[in-house]
Structure 1
Amino acid sequence: MEKRVLEQLVEADDAATDLIVLRKGELPAWLGGQPDSVRRWVEQTGFKAEPGTVCLLPGEGGALAGALAGLPDEDDPWAFAHFAPKLPVRTFRLAASLPAIQADRAATAWALAAYAFDRYKGRKANDLPRLVWPETADRARVTREVEAIALVRDLINTPASNMGPAELASAADALAARFGAKCRVIVGDGLEVENYPAIFAVGRAAAQNRRPRLIDLRWGDEMAPKLTLVGKGVCFDTGGLDLKPSSNMKLMKKDMGGAAHVLGLASMIMAAGLRLRLRVLIPAVENSVSGEAMRPLDVLATRKGLTVEVGNTDAEGRLILCDALAEASSEKPALLIDMATLTGAARSALGTDLPALFCNDDGLAAQILEQGEAEGEPLWRLPLHKPYRRMIDSKVADLTNATDSPHAGAITAALFLQEFVGPQIPWAHLDIMAWNGAARPGRPEGGEALALRALFATIAQRVGG
């Protein structure tokens, strides 16, 4: 998928057709400088430079002389994704240069407009027009962003039959090989031997070829500041013995979306060559139903030594993350970030597009939010409200993984994770949807990458300089 979308951006071509992008208020001045025939044509087509609209300009002998395209007044990173499906299949070039950041966004959106997950289709997606690389675009930046987003989407969109714990580990291993990183995978009973009991308990009910794993990728200068990324890798979630209804289970191939995100973010970091010591930890499991499944009110051990009562087997994501966060904290990284499709409560509060951000460091939170706005990837911070900590107390263990209260589910989940993060470690937890419920230009229905550019910019500023 990655190669195909990047092929939408091409080298300069003298035969390319001019694409003239205009905001609505700029159209009258442009028309004032054109011949009467062009003005009449544009007026008769009804083109008003509304955002996302195009107008083909006829030339001599019926040839295509150029095309107009309407831009919104406000910045929209996806503006150029509207144009490609509406233009004929040929090569276009921007008639005027754009500021660097707009050029980057134009190239990224144009490329991603061609993204389609068609692995299982005999008939592939239709070709789309190509764009000559904008002259002011940062090609390296655009390439790593497009590749990362396509990787995240591909991993999430792949059905669980072909994206189990073993396949997720293979994807991590392939990424490591590409960038000269090291990747170690602890499988099945090895998790018990190496003291990852919660990951093992969640994943032990799966079939033998889908045994649980801990994926551990390392890259970079060992003497550089440490960044650790942790991603939830539940490759399919039935809910366990607290079985989900079919309507809630249908999309659960996406429950490894956090793992996909940290692999995408890792690919951006390694491609950019940031000076840091990167570690990626992904607990990869399938939450299945069998005689080996964990039961409600079982008490589980964890890597940190805390015990957890299973209030609900469908709150398994925080159980596998707690072991990974405990291991991440053992190295005292300069920055720790986890990403997870963790709670429906976060989606109820913020919808599908807006990741919930929890953070134990106000400066770090402000930086992520600022970069989110700058990159067109907004997030919303929710509190680690200490008085709610009592809601995850258990009568028989140190903690419970699910409260009986219907309230504050995203917050109590984050508070549970915080118990396994070492003191004084700057930590951010992103509760994400990782899925588009409806198609939009450049963002088809299906798996979606959220906040990658915002996090990359934060990391580059904070630990990767």
Structure 2
Amino acid sequence: MSLRRQATDKALPIWFVTAETWPQIRETLPPYVSLFAQASGFEPHAGRSLVYPGPSGAFEGVLFGLENKAAATADPFLPGRLVSLLPAGLYRFANAPHTPDLAALSWLLSSYRFTRYKSQGAELPELCAPEGVDADRVERIAEAVTLGRDLINTPANDLGPDSLEEAALQLATRYKAKSSIIRGEKLLQTNFPLIHAVGRASDKAPRLIDFAWGPTDAPKVTLVGKGVCFDSGGLDIKPGSAMLLMKKDMGGAATALALAAMIMDAQLPIRLRVLIPAVENAISGNAFRPGDIYPSRKGLTIEIGNTDAEGRLVLADALALADEEAPDLLIDFATLTGAARVALGPDLPPFYTGDDALADAITAHGTALADPVWRLPLWPPYAKLLDSKVADLNNVSSGSFAGSITAALFLQRFVEKAKAWVHFDLYAWTPSAKPGHPEGAEIQVGRLLFSLIEERFSLSSPSLTEALQNVPPQPPEPGPFADENAKDPTP
């Protein structure tokens, strides 16, 4: 997945036009192009395209409509639609779209195809690196997203905890990171009882994947990703329809690995640590049960109110480990609750943090990079919904409301020393294709966090958050949350 570095005479031009710019651009093009556009009924509407011939009748170039740059609905990823509209060949941007780097990235991300189980794939159009765009950076991000998408799209028969471990170790080895794995009964011996409890029913042993990269004296950034490779719901079994997408329940782990790939490839000046509790929530005679009580690494005891709320359990032990070394920034990713999808839909992941400055920076980077997020509150009064009569905590709330918030409040109990912590409740899936986002697996928030970490820990990096003084209006306030296990298949 790459951009052609040198434009050639064979690269066909793509002209980006808006209602405002089309009259001027039309005057600069050969008269036959204007006549052909008029005869074809071309109008410079967003997403409208026209392939026009030259005097010989051969394909000569492309017109593509964009929204006016100032429009609130302008989509910087819209040029990615061309990948599915154009025949195979080599193309170049004849003029600059609104955001050339995002347009080039969208082209590459739109070119993604999951072909592991296909005998052959279609040939796709290629793009020359646009002038002024950092092609290495664009490709770095696209390759990392491809890594994460491939992991999520792979079905559980080929991506269990063992295969997820192999993928993580391959990445660690590529960048000379130091890694360690704790598997099976050793989880109990090293005080990770919740990871063991959730994963012990599977024929593939539960494990904690741990690798670190970068100078030990650099600022510490730790990524924790939920690696539930398949979630049956456990003894609180899901209906069949709700299991159809459960191969994506390791989307948090895939996001952590994709972000780690961006960071390590860019050689950011940080000490990176990645923790992935990798399990399968299966059913057998030794599966954990509703009503069971388990200790956690943190020392808190957990009553199991629902075995389908297993993601927060494995994250709890991993977060407790991460927190022990007081990282400068601790981030966790998880396909955690259906309540998040009921509130915000599949495209807008909620995030939680008690750090207002960090929250503002996350929102600003997400807005600038078309990687949207929405902050939800760690609302203290809801913490009592996790009370248990027989243990320190229940893993689910006592009511049907605020499922995503109470899940975040549960995780917060396991973070104490980190200088800053943020939790993302992801969907990790695109239900219907959009420019830059083919249907299927998706890596959400990775791009914005790569930019934020680069800014936050690199003195030479310009401050994006300072430059973005006027953040565009956000979606309206969401309505009440539904129960996390009610309808949505994400646990």
Alignment map for 1:16-415 (pairs within 5 Å) = 16-74=11-69, 75-97=74-96, 102-124=99-121, 126-207=122-203, 210-415=204-409
Counterpart of 1:110, as a letter, is W
Greater Cα shift, 310-319 or 59-68: 59-68
Find the residue that maps to 1:253 and give its secondary structure: helix
CA distance in 2, matches of 1:35, 1:382: 53
Which is richer in helix?
Answer: 1
CA distance in 1, matches of 2:153, 2:145: 12
What is the root-mean-square deviation in Å for CA atoms of aligned residues? 1.4
Q: Residues 431-450 of structure 1: CA distance to partner in whole angstroms, max 9, x if unpaired?
A: 01001111223322211011
Q: 1:46 to 1:10 in 2, by over 3 A?
A: farther
Where does structure 1 lack aligned partners over 5 or more consecutive residues?
none
Is the 2:77–2:370 contact (alpha carbons within 8 Å) kept by the matching residues of 1?
Answer: no
CA distance in 1, matches of 2:377, 2:451: 23
Report what 2:486 is aligned to. Answer: none
Where does structure 2 lack aligned partners over 5 or more consecutive residues?
460-491
Q: Residues 198-242 of structure 1: CA distance to partner in whole angstroms, max 9, x if unpaired?
A: 0000000001xx110100010001000100000000000000000
Match of residue 432, structure 2, among 427, 438, 445 = 438
CA distance in 2, matches of 1:73, 1:247: 42
Counterpart of 1:116, as a letter, is R
Match of residue 460, structure 1, among 447, 454, 458 = 454
Q: 1:424 to 1:329 in 2, by over 3 A?
A: closer
Could you state the TM-score of these two structures normalised by the residue count of structure 2?
0.90
Percent same amino acid at aligned positions? Answer: 51
Is the 1:81–1:441 contact (alpha carbons within 8 Å) kept by the matching residues of 2?
Answer: yes
CA distance in 2, matches of 1:464, 1:302: 36
Find the residue that maps to 2:138 and give its secondary structure: helix
Find the residue that maps to 1:42 and give its secondary structure: helix
Q: 1:38 to 1:446 in 2, by over 3 A?
A: closer
CA distance in 2, matches of 1:319, 1:371: 30
Could you state the TM-score of these two structures normalised by the residue count of structure 1?
0.95
Q: How many residues align?
A: 455
Counterpart of 1:285, as a letter, is V
CA distance in 1, matches of 2:246, 2:451: 30
CA distance in 2, matches of 1:18, 1:411: 49
Q: Residues 150-186 of structure 1: CA distance to partner in whole angstroms, max 9, x if unpaired?
A: 1111000000001100100111101011111112111
Find the residue that maps to 2:75 and give its secondary structure: coil
* Alpha-carbon offset, residue 72 of structure 1: 2.1
* Alpha-carbon offset, residue 404 of structure 1: 2.6
* Alpha-carbon offset, residue 362 of structure 1: 1.0
* Alpha-carbon offset, residue 64 of structure 1: 2.3
* Alpha-carbon offset, residue 34 of structure 1: 4.1
Counterpart of 2:88, as a letter, is V
Greater Cα shift, 49-58 or 354-363: 49-58
